[in-house]
Amino acid sequence: MSRTEQNGTGRRRPPTIHDVAREAGVSRGTVSRVLNGGHNVSPAALDAVQSAIRRTGYTVNRHARSLITGRSDSVAFLLTEPQERFFEDPNFNVLLRGCTTALAAHDVPLLLMIAGTEAERRRNMRYIAGHVDGVLLVSSHSGDPVAAQLHDAGVPLVACGKPPGQGSKVSYVAADDLGGARDMVRYLYESGRRRIATVAGPLDTPGGVERLAGYRATLAECGLPYDEALVVPGDYSRAGGEVAASLLLERAPDTDAVFVASDLMAQGVLTALEKAGRRVPQDIAVGGFDDSPAALAARPQLTTVRQPWDRISSEMVRVLLAQIGGEDPAAVILPTELVRRDSA
Amino acid sequence: MSRTEQNGTGRRRPPTIHDVAREAGVSRGTVSRVLNGGHNVSPAALDAVQSAIRRTGYTVNRHARSLITGRSDSVAFLLTEPQERFFEDPNFNVLLRGCTTALAAHDVPLLLMIAGTEAERRRNMRYIAGHVDGVLLVSSHSGDPVAAQLHDAGVPLVACGKPPGQGSKVSYVAADDLGGARDMVRYLYESGRRRIATVAGPLDTPGGVERLAGYRATLAECGLPYDEALVVPGDYSRAGGEVAASLLLERAPDTDAVFVASDLMAQGVLTALEKAGRRVPQDIAVGGFDDSPAALAARPQLTTVRQPWDRISSEMVRVLLAQIGGEDPAAVILPTELVRRDSA
DNA sequence: TTCTCTACTGTGAACGCTCACAGCGTCCTT
DNA sequence: AAGGACGCTGTGAGCGTTCACAGTAGAGAA
């Protein structure tokens, strides 16, 4: 008879490895071996243990295991963004969900940590060292020292997007921002536009830099001049896009296309254009970046560049687990895809 | 000399309570007492221990602590939604972030678990029992047995929104859906609308039911007849809203206002109305629900009902921690707020 | 047969912490 | 003056697991 036959409302003491061992008629050691891959265990013992586990409803006590192994078998998803971006940017959702499910497949729980303030950052850093096997880092702004700190502390780490100034020391997974920007600008060119402007992302983020570089390179490839009046900085926010577009219309009223470095900003651009009485795409074509829900919500719906967020998340998890397993840091760059809708 | 003076690239063995004790010239027991509230410790010893902790950079090993206390000092945020909703609904973001930061203030890490499929659900249930002190449950569909299961397993639990058919056994925190709907419908009535329709939410969710009930009750209070042609079911999605609005225009072309049970659906309604050539708000007023980013993204911007998501998350955490501390389950209902913009 | 090798099994000893207990002084009460 | 109560301290045991090691039996080689 197992000790856990009833599971009433009060919490019972959960079965331990001893209970399983007794139930199966073997020793702790054998049960432990079964739990950890089942090597050097006779078929009969394996069977007995497995059925005993099933009968008792045993689950390994991860605290006890972690205490001795030193591993925690959990990883942190660390977000170091000012909160507005987290709210506004639906990509985080996709990324977070993707990481959660990819990890779940390996039975590794995910700890969500958000470090908006300096105090939160310190608390999280304290926690991470020693309580978590690795970190999935989402932090785009380059002022952020957290990647370097974690790396110095010897914590396995994968960043989403290339962390600036880290050489090749830290792993990262990123979309091909430069290639995506190139595809979009070339597409605008090929649909006949010749005064192609851009609303850039923040230039302290790798994405912002790369997309601008792609814009610039493609202009050159197409034989178009680079005109500084056509380049307006933005901050990835809707409001920022609106401001940027007004500025652009003032500086270069003859613009006939805008490559906007995020869908959210593109929404703002659309608003400004509407206020200014410009028709999209007839008067001005607008190209976004991200293929976020905002792209579908926009009127007209945005032609944009899809980032492979689902693959990004699964690659991040793959690289992180590999690194925890002892492999070297790796960089992965994934292709983007042009999505044609109504705005260009 | 502390043993941890350098923190080079290789991971050092972190300082233990023994190290701190030696450093402070006291015993393990005293250090432990300082760590757990500092009762029955002399001022001198307290001081010595605290400075030793600072010097060594000691952090308590939570695995060792959990092993003996039986608590894990962590809680799960369990999401049992089909994935589309998670993506589309920005409220989850706010909720998730709110819970994370509220918990962080108590030094309690949050484990994110998503149970989209049955297999995931089972895995998560297994993990939760014994590895987590409590659960923040976000699951609106009533077919979902997870609330009952967790409750039966004796796991402290707080749901977001009233879980259907649980009597008063499980704690929950919810916005005043009925009151919010009432405010909106009354507002539409007071701005002169007399053919007020509604696009309802799914009726297997408490929110959907309550908002419809509020609509119906307010109609009665205002002396307006209840007309079934004016009530169209929806599914909280943008596409669902568009379909619903087309149906509505067909069934009741003289509608002059629509109370839509979510902003996302309201966006769809706006699209359908635009296609049908109706002006908003001149021809038809549109009222949303949620005050999500979608409300600002919509054209015209949505008049809507704000749910106090920030307070919901902090209340959920408060109630859960209280319950873990031994208090009884509690129900909390928080007031909503009417936000006037351009659509009504 | 005897020896070695291999496959399998059981047994302490840790991991770092908390908790209960016992031992101490010191102060108050009777 | 004796007895308790109280504040503070150190010590041993044990939480549930893994790991290293020692031991056993059976198979194959000499």
Inform me whether the pLDDT recorded for B292 exceeds 90: no
Pick B11's closest partner by Cβ from A107, A154, A298: A154
Alpha helices in chain B (DSSP H): 17-24, 28-35, 43-56, 62-69, 83-88, 91-104, 118-131, 146-152, 177-190, 206-221, 238-251, 263-275, 293-297, 309-324
Q: What is the pLDDT of residue A161?
A: 86
Q: What is the pLDDT of residue B116?
A: 82
Nearest to A261 by CA among A222, A224, A304, A230: A304
- Nearest chain B Cα distance for residue A63, angstroms: 5
Q: From the CB of residue A105, how many other CB atoms can be counted at a distance below 10 Å?
A: 11
B231-233: strand order across its sheet: B231-233, B196-200, B257-260, B285-287
Within A 53-72, residues with CB less than 7 Å from strand C: 64, 67-68
In this complex, the nucleotide whose C1' atom is nearest to the CA atom of residue B59 is C16
What's the whole-number mean pLDDT along residues B267-277? 95
Interface contact B104-A120, CB threshold 8 A? yes
Confidence of residue B6 (pLDDT cuts 50, 70, 90): very low
Long-range contact set of residues A66-73: C-beta below 8 Å, sequence gap at least 24: A66/B63, A67/B61, A67/B63, A67/B64, A67/B67, A71/A133, A72/A131, A72/A132, A72/A133, A72/B63, A73/A107, A73/A108, A73/A109, A73/A133
Q: What is the pLDDT of residue B282?
A: 96
Q: Which two tokens stand for residue B135?
A: 């659960």
What's the whole-number mean pLDDT along residues B246-263? 96
Which of the residues in chain A have pLDDT under 50? 1-10
Instruction: Decide: B245 and B268 in contact? Cβ < 8 Å.
Output: yes
Q: What is the pLDDT of residue B227?
A: 95
Instruction: Decide: A320 and A76 in contact? Cβ < 8 Å.
Output: no
Confidence of residue B129 (pLDDT cuts 50, 70, 90): confident
Which bases of chain D come closer than 7 Å to a protein CB?
7-12, 14-21
Among A138-142, B26-30, B58-62, B321-325, which is the least confidently predicted range?
A138-142
Q: What is the pLDDT of residue B296?
A: 85
What's the whole-number mean pLDDT along residues B207-224? 95
Interface contact A110-B112, CB threshold 8 A? yes
A69 CA from C15 C1′ (Å): 8
A229 CA from C8 C1′ (Å): 78
Interface contact A59-B129, CB threshold 8 A? yes
Give the residues across from A171 on adjacent strands.
A158
Q: What is the pLDDT of residue A139?
A: 77
Q: Model confidence over A3-29: pLDDT tens digits?
A: 333 333 345 688 999 999 999 999 999
Confidence of residue B1 (pLDDT cuts 50, 70, 90): very low
Q: What is the DSSP string of A185-246?
A: HHHHHHTT--SEEEEE--TTSHHHHHHHHHHHHHHHHHTPPP-GGGEEE--SSHHHHHHHHH
Confidence of residue B285 (pLDDT cuts 50, 70, 90): very high
Alpha helices in A70-170 (DSSP H): 83-88, 91-104, 118-131, 146-152
Comparing B133 with A117, the larger pLDDT belongs to B133
A18 strand D contact, CB < 7 Å = yes
Confidence of residue B168 (pLDDT cuts 50, 70, 90): low
Q: What is the pLDDT of residue A293?
A: 77
Q: What is the pLDDT of residue B2?
A: 36
